[in-house]
Structure 1
Amino acid sequence: MPKMCLELGRGRRGLIGHTQPRRLAARSVASRLAEELEVSLGEQVGYQVRFTDQSSPTTLVKLMTDGILLAETQHDPLLLRYDTIIIDEAHERSLNIDFLLGYLKRLLPKRPDLKVIITSATIDVERFAKHFGTAKTPAPVVEVTGRTYPVEVHYRPLVRDEDDEEDRTLQEGILHAVEEIEAIEREKGWLHGPRDVLVFLPGEREIRETADTLRRAELKGTEILPLYARLSNEEQNRVFAPHRGRRIVLATNVAETSLTVPGIRYVIDPGLVRISRYSYRSKIQRLPVEAVSQASANQRKGRCGRIAEGVCIRLYSEEDFLSGPALPIPKSSAPI
C-alpha cells in the first residue's frame, strides 16, 4: 500500500504515515518496505516506536504504532506533516485506533488534501464506510482477494475419552497436535517443501510453558522458536532466517495479521487471545484471555494456506467455533 501511494505521487507534500498496532509489526514492515525499494532503513523509509525513532528529514514513508501518531496530534493538531495516513489492522479496535478513527473523521473537513486509508483483513466494511462517508454516499471500498491454497480443518477439543477423569492441558493438546501433524505428513507424503508449524498462544507465559513441553519431548529435527513483543530484535529476526528441518513458531496474535511468518504449512489454534480491555466502571485497563471470533479463527487458518495446501488443527469443537462472534469485539467497548 505505501508503494502504491508513492507511485501515485503521494509523499511529496508530506509524509506517508502507516500505523501498526504493535512495535514488532512496525519494525518488520519498515524493513520489508526498505528492502523492496532498495533503500537504507531510516532514509526514505523509516519507523518510530516507543523509545526508538529511526527516521530522518529525507523520510517519505514512516511506519509507527498507533500511539505514536495519536501523540503527534498534541503538537500537530492538523497533522500537517502528513499528506497520506494509512491505519492498518483497524479491526483490532484498540483505544488508540478508535481515538484515531474519530479524530481523523473530524480532521478531514479541515484537511481536504489529506488522504486516509483504512485497511484490515477482517474489517466490518459497511460500518467503516458509513463512518467516513454519509448514509447516502459512504466512503469508497476497495476489496482485494489474495490467492490461497486449500486448508484442511481438524477439530481436536481438549477433552479426553470418557474413561479419563481429566481433560488435556493446553500444552498436552499442542504436543498431541504436533504428533498428529507428523502422521498427516507421512500419510500425504508432505515430507518435502514447507513443513513449519505456527502455534497461536495468548501470551508470553503460555509460550514459555509450551516451549518447555515441546523441548522435553525431544522432537527430532525440530527447532522451537518463540515470537512475542518483548523479545530482542535479534531473537525476533530468527523467525525469518533460513533453516533446515522443521520449525515450530510459538506466537501471540501478532502473527495473525500484523506479521507473516514464512514457510508455514500447519497451524495449531487453541482459539484463545489476550486482549487489552478498558473497564469504564473501574477505570482500569485489563488483559483478559478470551475466545477468538470466527473472523480471527479464519484468519489464523489462512496462515498455512499461503504457499501450499495446509492443515489447521483447532483445539476446540466446531460448535464452539460456530457459536462465537462473527467479528472481533471492539477492545474499547466490550464490557468487563
Structure 2
Amino acid sequence: MSTASSCTEPDIHPNSEQCPGEDSFGFGDDLELNQFDGLPFSSRYYKLLNERKILPVWKVKCQFEDALAKNQLIIVSGTARTGTSTQIPQWCAEFCLSAQYQHGMVVCTQTNKQQAVDLALRVADEMDVNIGHEVGYTIPLETCCCPDTVLRYLTDDMLLREMMSDPFLEHYGVVVIDQAHERTVSTDILLGLLKHIPLQRPELRVVVLTVPPMTEKLLRHYGSIPLISLEAPSPIEVVHSSSSNKDCFYSALRMVLEIHRTKESGDIAVFFASAKEVQSAYSILQSESSRMGKELDRMEPVVLCPSQRGPVPVQTKPSGHPKSRSVFLSTEKGEDVWWTLESVNFVIDTGVQLKMVYNPRVRAYSQVLQPISRCQADLRKRLSGPTGKCFRLYPEANLRLAETSPQILESNIAPTVLFLKRMEIAGLGQCQFMDRPDPEGLMQALEELDYLAALDDDGDLSEIGIIMSEIPLDPQMAKALLASCEFDCVSEMLTIAAMVSAPSCFLEPSAEMTHKAVQCHRKFQHPEGDHFTLINIYNAFKQSQRKECKTSDLTAERWCQDYFLDHSALKTAEAIRSELTDTLNRIELPISEPSFGTKTNTINLKRALMAGFFMQIARDVDGSGNYFILTHKHMAQVHPLSGYGAPSHKLGLPEWVVFNEYTLSENNCIKTVTKISPQVFIQMAPLYFFYNLPPSESKDILQDMLDPEGSSNCTDKAPPNSDDTGGCTAVTTYDRCVIQ
C-alpha cells in the first residue's frame, strides 16, 4: 500500500467519474481487490456502490478529500438523509489507509448507541468487510472490534472514557464528531477539547458533521476553517397550524386517523412531548385500529423511543404486514434514529418536548415543557422524504430558537467537572465550551466534589478523586463504592450501584394487574429499605438464571414476567456489575466476599452508602411520610414504588432516610430510600458539610448529638433504629473511614 492522494475511491467502472489522483494508490491490476482486506469485491459491493453514488454527499467527495488532506479541522453541514454519517467516515478510512495508518485509525461518534451499531453494520456492508474486524463499534457494555479495526463507531461518552488513558487520542488519525447539533454533554466536551488537541498533534484530522442551523455557531467556535455545505434537498410540503393548540396530543391522534382514512400510501411518524404520551397514543391507536372497517388497511402503532421502557413493546422497524400502515410514535429523543426507515411519508409534529432540567440549588431534576428548536423541527420534517408532507400542530412563529438547547446547561455537571479535572492532570488545557456551564451549576459541582474529598486544597484532583474518575459512575456512587472497600461490603455495593445505574427493574402493570404486581414486589422488600430490596431482587434474578440451567420449565425471562420485573433492565444491571467488577480489579481494589443478611454487613453497607450520599438525607417531621430534606429544606414524599411508598408499604416509616434521587415533578418525591440512624450520618458526613447545612429543627437534633456534654444522654435522643451504629458510644469512638 503506497501513500497517495486525497481522493481514494477505486475506479471500478471505466466510465465512472474520477477525481484527480484517484489512480495513484498503486494497486495496478488489482483495482478490483478491496484495499482494506485484500480480497476481491463481492457483487453486493457494486450494487451498494451505485446506491452510494446517488447520495447528496457524494457530490462533494473530491472537495471533502482535498480539504481533509490540507486541513486539520473541517465542518460538513447537511440535512438529514444526505449520507454524511456513512460516507464521510469511509472516506476518512481511505485517507488513513493512504498513510498506511501511521497516524492512527478512524473513530466516529454517535449520540445514540443503537445508531452506532446500525451505522457500523451498514458501513461494513458497504465496504465489503466483516463487522468486528475492519469496521466495528463500541457502546456502553458492548464492544465489537479488534486490533485490526480501521473504522470504529462509538457513542460520544465512550470516546470520553477512552480519553482517560489516551487524552490526546493518539490511537486515531481522524476523529469524526457526528450529530454535533444534538448538543449532548459528551459531544460538547469533545468539541471543546478538540479545539486544542490538534495543536499538540499536527497530523490529527477532526471532522464535525452537523445540520445548517448549527453551522454558524461552530464556525465562531473554531474560527476560520473549511466548511463544506451540501446542497439543500427539494423543499418538503409543510402545513402549519394557524394557532397554538394546547391539546396537541389529541389533535395528533385525530390527524393520524384522518390520514389513514384518505388511503394515501406511506407510513406515519408522530412526535409527542413525552414517553407517557407515547404509551397513551399506542393504546388508543391499537383500540381504534381494531374497530376499523375492512375497507381500510391495517394500522399498526409502533413505539420508537430510545429511552422508553415498560409494557409497550419497543420496536425499530415495521412488522412488514402486506396490507398495513405503520404509525411510528416517538419523543424529542428520537429524531436521529429514523435514518433506516424510508417508508415514512407523513410526519405529525406536536412541537413540544418534556425535558428534565437540573436545578443546582436543590440538587434535583424537574420536568419542563418546552417548544422544540428550528433544528429539531427541520430534522423531523426531513423524515417524510422529498414527496411527503409534514403537519406541524403549531404556528411557525413558535420556533424561536434556531439551535437545540445544550444539555450542559440543563444537567448536573459534577461528573463533567470530575472528568475535566482528570484531563488537566493528563496535560490538556481547559475545555473551551461553545456554551459555558451555568456558574451556579459549576460552583455546586465543585462544592459536591469537595465534600466527597475528590479535590485537594488547591482545587486539583486528590488521590481519591483520581480513583473516582476511573469508575464509570456518578461521583457520589463512585465514592460509596470506594468506601465499601474499606467496610468489606464491596459485593453488595456493586449490586446496588449496578441496579440504580440500570433502568428501573419494576414494570408498571395495567390497572387491573396493579394489586397482583404489588403483591409480587412485596416478596422482595427488605426491612432496611430499597437499596437492600434491590439486592434481594438481583440475587433472586441470579438464582432464577441458575435454575434455568437445570430445567427448561422455568426461564429467567419467564420468572421476570411472573414477578412484574423487567428482564432487560436486570440483564443490563448484570452487565454493569460485571464492568464495575473489572474496573475494581484493574485498579487493584479489594473485593470482599458477599455476606448479605448479617448484622455487620447491614451496618457497614449503610456506612458505605452514607460516605457517598450524606448530601441526600431526609427526616420525617410528622410521622406521616412528609420528609424534610436537610440540604435545601424542601419537603418530599416517598416514591410509590418504594418499599415505604403508599399504597403498598408494609414497612413502618423510618424517621431518618438516605435517598438516591430527588425529583421535582408532580409527585415531588424521593426515590430508592433506605432508613439510617442520625449517628451514621454524623460519623460519615464531613463536619464542614454539616455546619454548612441551613438552620432547621433536624439540624438541631444532629447538633445535640455532636455535643460532647450531651453524649451521656444520647440514648434518650436517639431514634429507634439507632442500633445501626452498635450503641451510642460509636458516635465518639468509631474511627472515620480512611477513604475520606
Q: TM-score, normalised by structure 2?
A: 0.39
The within-5 A match list for 1:122-161 is: 122-133=212-223, 138-148=224-234, 150-155=236-241, 159=245
Structure 2 residue identity aligned to 1:222? M
Matched, 1:252 2:323: no
Instruction: Calculate percent identity across the aligned residue pairs.
Output: 27
Give distance in 1, aligned partners of 2:284 and 2:276. Answer: 13
Q: Which residue of 1 aligns with 2:172?
A: 82
Matches within 5 A, 1:216-227: 216-218=287-289, 220-227=297-304
Instruction: Give the whole-Å Cα distance in 2 for the aligned partners of 1:142 and 1:240.
Output: 35
Post-superposition Cα deviations, 1:33-53, rounded to whole Å, max 9, x if no partner, equal 122222222111111111111
**What is the aligned partner in structure 2 of residue 333 from structure 1?**
409
Partner residue in 2 for 1:229: 306
Q: Tell me the secondary structure at the aligned position of residue 303 of structure 2.
A: strand
**Against the structure 1 CA distance between its residues 226 and 106, is the aligned structure 2 distance closer, same or farther, given a 3 Å change threshold?**
same
User: How far did 1:251 drift?
Assistant: 2.0
Q: Which residue of 1 aligns with 2:91?
A: 4
1:312 aligns with 2:398: no
Match of 1:163 in 2: none
CA contact (8 A) 2:138 2:154 kept: yes
Match in the other structure for 1:117: 207
**DSSP-derived class of the 2:279 partner:** helix
- Is contact 1:19–1:86 with CA below 8 Å preserved after alignment? yes
- 1:278 Cα deviation (Å)? 4.6
Distance 1:269 1:311 in 2: 11
Q: Of Structure 1 and Structure 2, which has the larger fraction of its residues in helix?
A: 2
SS in 1 for 2:216: helix
Cα deviation for residue 314 of structure 1 reads 1.5
C-alpha separation in 1, matches of 2:213 and 2:242: 28
* Residue number in structure 2 paired with 1:293: 373
Match for residue 106 of structure 1 among 186, 196, 201: 196
After superposition, the C-alpha distances for 1:129-157 in whole angstroms (9 at most, x for unaligned) are 23223xxxx11111012534532324276
Report the Cα offset of residue 310 of structure 1: 1.4
Alpha-carbon spacing, 1:273–1:169, altered in 2? closer, same or farther (3 Å): closer
- Tell me, what secondary structure is at the counterpart of 1:39? coil
- Structure 2 equivalent of residue 273 of structure 1: 353
Which structure has the higher relative contact order (CA within 8 Å, separation 6+)? Answer: 1
Shift of 1:275: 4.3
| Contact 2:136/2:151 (<8 A) preserved | yes
In the TM superposition, residue 110 of structure 1 has moved relative to its aligned partner by 0.4
Deviations 1:208-229 (Å, cap 9, x if unpaired)?
A: 1110111111154111111122
Q: Which of the two has higher C-alpha Rg? A: 2
In 2, the alpha carbon distance for the partners of 1:229 and 1:150 equals 26
Answer whether contact 2:267 2:326 (CA < 8 A) is retained: yes
Residue 19 of structure 1 is matched in structure 2 by: 109
1:203 Cα deviation after fit = 3.7
Partner of 2:611: none
- 2:343 paired with 1:263: yes
Q: Could you tell me whether the CA contact under 8 Å between 2:96 and 2:105 is conserved in 1?
A: no
**CA–CA distance in 1 between the matches of 2:235 and 2:319?**
24
Q: Out of 278-287 and 21-30, give the one that drifted further.
A: 278-287
Is the alpha carbon distance of 1:154 and 1:124 closer, same or farther for their aligned partners in structure 2, counting shifts above 3 Å?
Answer: closer
| 2: CA distance, partners of 1:44 / 1:23 | 19
Change (3 A) 1:35 1:298: same
Moved more, 222-231 or 111-120: 222-231
Question: How far 1:27 sits from its partner (Å)?
Answer: 1.4
Counterpart position of 2:543: none
Q: Secondary structure at the match of 1:267?
A: strand
Q: Deviations over 1:225-260 (max 9, x none)?
A: 11122579xx76651664432111112334423541
Match of 2:251 in 1: 173
SS in 2 for 1:247: strand
SS in 1 for 2:252: helix
Give, in whole Å, the separation in 1 of the partners of 2:238 and 2:127. 36
Distance 1:55 1:259, change over 3 A: farther
Q: Distance between the aligned counterparts of 1:292 and 1:145, measured in 2?
A: 25
Deviation at 1:300, TM superposition (A): 1.0
Unaligned runs of 5+ in 1: 160-166
Question: Which letter maps to 1:297?
Answer: A
How many pairs does the alignment contain? 311
Per the TM alignment, residue 207 of structure 1 is displaced from its structure 2 partner at its CA by 1.6
In terms of fraction of residues, the more strand-rich structure is 1
Partner SS for 2:219: helix
Rounded to whole Å, the distance in 2 between the matches of 1:34 and 1:237 is 23
Kindly provide the amino acid, as one letter, of the partner of residue 373 in structure 2: S
**1:123 offset after TM fit, Å?**
4.4
Distance between the aligned counterparts of 2:182 and 2:316, measured in 1? 26
Q: Distance in 2 between matches of 1:122 and 1:331?
A: 19
Name the SS of the counterpart of 1:43 in structure 2.
coil
* 1:42 to 1:132, Cα distance in 2 relative to 1, 3 A: same
- Whole-angstrom CA distance in 2 between matches of 1:5 and 1:146: 23
- The 1:282/1:118 distance shift into structure 2, 3 A limit, reads farther
Cα distance 1:40–1:236, how it changes in 2: closer, same or farther (>3 A)?
farther
For 2:356 and 2:127, how far apart are their aligned partners in 1?
35
Q: Which amino acid aligns with 1:330?
A: P
Name the CA shift for 1:126/1:326 in 2 (closer, same or farther; >3 Å): closer
